Each structure stands twice: as structure tokens, then as C-alpha cells.
């Protein structure tokens, strides 16, 4: 058979997977997998210290004249909003600011922001802040183009009409919202988080200025860093992974495990911040294309119930989910362990997976994340409801191991 005779499903041919995913290789024995067709969504990215100065030009490039800037009081206090407004005005733009976002953005906050947007005559939505601000900005854009209530867009590809251009400026190193096709919104009546997944939500431009990371509170730096690590690990083992997402996921694991603690110990040092900014970016590009898994599906429910920090919940749950998945499917965790600096060529895959779980827990301990869910307020009585709502979360579809309600309940109880 010649090369031209091979079907798309047999594209790998005689090549080993470890030869096809770049510098951080899949370990031999991980299994030969066909390379199926895959899409890779990503915005235009402006990256580096001082890149916030490009914000005005970015808005102009997407056709904006009156940007609607969504942020929060913390970013105003830190001075980043004033700097951003200066750059927008210097480009001849007339920005409007809305700052009514709280952590884990709420459905009524999106409705309020949209009312202000609709009355403002604005034409571009700019999100400046962490994942909450960026998800709120996406929510406003959804309602602008599609109308109705934000909760009606839960699930995959429910946003059917075009939305206004969006430009995002992340101030944390972890959520990946600035490059993703996800928006996560809190349903305040049901006390759950809903996940909206749509290609339309990938921003036109992401402006990543690591200077903004230096004003994060320590707890937020820890939480968002562990969120990014979870993105990378879950994307790599996802049922929807592909060679393009694998490269980004593995490099993100290497960067985050190598530098997150450094940002806690030396918050003003440039090198760890640059590494975390890139790690967050690459983890975001991986998970928006490969989707996620059980850790995120479970974490969303805890966040919706208790308004708890998303990354903190991920840091608690991730080691338990790694062990659960690896008990059936350990091979993919071998490459992740290598990326995290745990390489042992003679060790079985399941041992490396368990070592990776322990590495995650050690990193969480080092940055001050609680050891269990009970310390966040979760009780045994909450477990059945949390498990039922987890099964409805879109992220669960790409978890590498099938799960049922009993599995999810057991994972929650192990994390208590």
C-alpha cells in the first residue's frame, strides 16, 4: 500500500504516537491511535509584558468604535482599568465601563450588564479581569446577538446567531476563558453552574499582559494556577484529544508544575509570571479544543452550590479523579507524569498516574489549597444532589472513563 492509498483513519501508519506530538512525548506503550480529523479553535493572541498598550488597536481591528468594557472593582482598584481606558481613548475610542461582576458570574448579573450594553450603543465587548469577568462578557455578547435569558443557552452549540466582536484581557493565570469556547454561568435559582459551549464564544483577540498577574491576591493566584493545571491534565486524557491539543497540554503541565509555586514565593519576579501566563494560555487552547472531564463536571456543581472558588475545588478533586480514571486507563497519564518531572522509564503507567495525583496534591498543599471539600462547606448530605447534577454537565462527556451516579458519589465522598 502506498502513502496515497492510506485512509484518513490510518494516517499514523507505522509511526508511533510518541513521534507525533512534539517535544513532550507520549510514552511508548500509550497505545497506537488513529488521527481523526480535528478542528482547532484559537483567537488572535497578543502576548507579553506591556501588551495592554495594544488594546485600543485590537478593538479598532475588529471594527469597534464604542467598546463596552466589563470588569470588577478589584481591577479598578489595582489601576488596570484606568490604564486600559487610557489606551482605548488614545486610539480614538469612546469606552463604557460596567463593573458589576462577582466571582462565579450570576445569571442576574449577565442580565443587568446586557441592559446597560443595549442602552449604551456599544459595538464591541471587552472583558478585563479573571474568568468571571470574561465569562460575563461572553454572556452579554450572547444576549446581544441572540436575545432571551442566558440560562437558555446551556449545552453545546445553542448559540446559533452571530455575536458582537469580543476582545479579552485576562488578569489571572488559569481560567483560559480568554481563548476558550466556554462560558460558565451560575443559575442562582437552582444553585448550579451551567456550561455554554459554542465556537462563537472564542474571542476575536486575547491580549495577555503578564504584568496584570502581579496584583492577584495570593489565594486567587493559587486557585487559577491549579485550574490551569486541571485544564491541561483533563484535556490530555480527554476522549476528544488530538495531537494538536496534546502538545499544548503537556507543555502547560511542564510550565505550571515548574512555576506556580514560584509565583507565590516571588510574586513580582518576571520569569515565573511569564511561564504561568504561557501555561494558562496553552492549557486554555488545549481544553477548549479537547474539552475536559469529571473534575470540572464535579467542580461546577460545588461552585454553584457554595459559590466556592472554582480552581480551589479543582485542586481538591483532581487527584481523586486522576486515580479513578487511571485505575482503568492509566496509559495516558504516563506522558503527563513525565511533563510534571516524574519520569521513571521503568515504572508502570498506573504507578506514574498515582505519583502524578500525589504531585498535584503536594502542589496544592504548597500553595495553600485545602485538603478536602468539607473545609469548603460540602457535607455528606450534599453528595447525592451534587452527583445527580454532575451527570448533566457537558464536561463529563469527554472524561476518559465512563461514570455513573455511584462513581460520582464515591468520588465526592473520597474528597470530603
pLDDT one-digit tens code per residue, 160-187? 999 999 999 999 998 999 999 999 999 9
pLDDT one-digit tens code per residue, 308-360? 899 999 999 999 999 999 999 999 999 999 999 997 767 889 999 999 999 99
Residues of the chain with pLDDT under 70: 1-36, 345
pLDDT one-digit tens code per residue, 281-293? 999 999 999 999 9
DSSP-based helix, strand, coil % in the chain, nearest 5: 55, 10, 35
For 35, the grid coordinates are: 488521527
Q: Which residue in 207, 220, 208 sits closest to 267, CA to CA? A: 220
Q: Which residue in 301, 294, 314 sits closest to 396, CA to CA? A: 294
Q: Give the separation between CA 35 and CA 241, rounded to whole angstroms.
A: 10
pLDDT for 36? 66
**Residues 174, 270, 101, 168, CA torsion sign:** negative
Tell me which of 3.10.450.50, 3.40.50.300, 2.50.20.10, 3.40.50.1970 is the CATH number of domain 44-215.
Answer: 3.40.50.1970
b/e code 7-43 from CB counts within 10 Å (16+ = b): eeeeebeeeebeebbeebbbbeebeeeebeeeeeebb
* CATH assignment, 217-415: 1.20.1090.10
Domain chopping of the chain, boundaries:
44-215, 217-415
User: Residue 170 to residues 7, 123, 129, 329, 337: CA-CA distances in angstroms?
Assistant: 42, 20, 5, 34, 28
pLDDT for 344? 72
Please provide the DSSP assignment of 215-255 as one string: GS-HHHHHHHHHHHHHHHHHHHHSTT--HHHHHHHHHHHHH
pLDDT one-digit tens code per residue, 124-138? 999 999 999 999 999
Note if the pTM is more than 0.85.
yes
Q: Give the separation between CA 135 and CA 270, rounded to whole angstroms.
A: 27
Helix (H) or strand (E) holding 45: strand 44-47
241: left (phi over 0), alpha (psi -120 to 50) or beta: beta
**What are phi and psi for residue 246, nearest 5 degrees?**
-60, -45
Q: Give the separation between CA 28 and CA 16, rounded to whole angstroms.
A: 8
pLDDT for 1? 37
b/e code 194-217 from CB counts within 10 Å (16+ = b): bbbbbebbbbbbbbbbbbbbebbe
Same fold, 44-215 and 217-415: no
Amino acid at each position: 500500500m502506498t502513502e496515497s492509498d492510506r485512509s484518513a483513519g490510518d494516517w499514523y501508519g507505522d509511526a508511533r504516537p510518541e513521534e507525533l506530538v512534539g517535544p513532550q512525548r507520549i510514552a511508548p506503550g500509550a497505545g497506537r491511535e488513529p488521527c481523526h480529523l480535528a478542528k482547532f479553535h484559537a483567537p488572535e493572541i497578543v502576548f507579553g509584558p506591556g501588551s495592554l498598550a495594544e488594546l485600543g488597536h485590537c478593538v479598532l481591528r475588529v471594527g469597534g468604535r464604542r467598546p463596552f468594557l466589563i470588569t470588577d472593582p478589584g481591577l479598578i482598584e489595582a489601576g488596570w482599568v484606568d490604564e486600559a481606558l487610557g489606551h482605548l481613548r488614545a486610539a480614538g475610542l469612546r469606552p463604557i465601563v460596567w463593573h458589576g461582576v462577582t466571582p462565579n458570574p450570576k445569571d442576574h448579573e449577565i442580565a443587568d450588564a446586557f441592559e446597560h450594553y443595549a442602552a449604551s450603543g456599544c459595538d464591541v465587548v471587552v472583558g478585563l479581569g479573571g474568568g468571571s469577568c470574561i465569562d460575563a462578557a461572553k454572556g452579554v455578547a450572547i444576549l446581544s446577538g441572540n436575545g432571551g435569558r442566558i440560562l437558555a443557552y446551556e449545552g453545546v452549540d445553542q448559540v446559533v446567531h452571530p455575536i458582537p466582536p469580543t476582545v479579552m484581557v485576562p488578569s489571572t493565570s488559569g481560567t483560559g476563558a480568554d481563548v476558550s469556547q466556554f462560558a460558565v454561568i451560575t443559575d442562582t435559582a437552582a444553585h448550579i453552574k451551567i456550561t455554554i459551549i459554542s465556537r462563537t464564544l472564542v474571542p476575536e483577540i486575547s491580549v495577555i499582559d503578564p504584568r496584570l498577574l502581579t496584583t492577584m491576591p495570593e489565594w486567587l493566584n493559587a486557585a487559577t494556577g491549579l485550574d490551569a493545571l486541571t485544564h491541561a491534565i483533563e484535556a490530555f486524557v480527554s476522549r476528544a484529544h488530538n495531537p494538536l491539543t496534546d502538545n499544548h497540554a503537556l507543555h502547560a503541565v511542564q510550565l505550571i508544575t515548574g512555576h506556580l509555586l514560584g509565583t507565590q514565593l516571588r510574586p513580582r519576579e518576571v520569569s515565573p509570571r511569564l511561564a504561568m501566563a504561557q501555561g494558562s494560555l496553552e492549557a486554555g487552547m488545549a481544553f477548549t479544543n479537547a474539552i475536559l472531564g469529571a473534575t470540572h463536571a464535579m467542580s461546577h456543581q460545588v461552585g454553584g452550590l457554595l459559590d466556592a472558588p472554582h480552581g480551589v475545588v479543582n485542586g481538591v478533586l483532581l487527584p481523586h479523579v486522576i486515580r479513578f480514571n487511571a485505575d482503568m486507563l492509566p496509559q495516558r497519564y504516563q506522558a503527563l507524569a513525565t511533563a510534571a518531572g516524574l519520569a521513571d522509564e521503568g515504572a508502570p503507567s498506573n504507578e506514574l498516574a498515582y505519583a502524578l495525583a500525589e504531585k498535584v496534591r503536594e502542589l496544592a498543599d504548597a500553595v495553600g489549597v485545602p485538603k478536602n471539600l468539607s473545609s469548603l462547606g460540602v457535607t455528606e448530605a450534599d453528595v447525592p444532589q451534587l452527583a445527580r447534577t454532575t451527570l448533566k454537565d457537558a464536561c463529563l462527556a469527554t472524561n476518559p472513563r465512563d461514570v455513573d451516579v455511584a462513581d460520582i458519589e464515591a468520588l465526592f465522598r473520597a474528597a470530603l
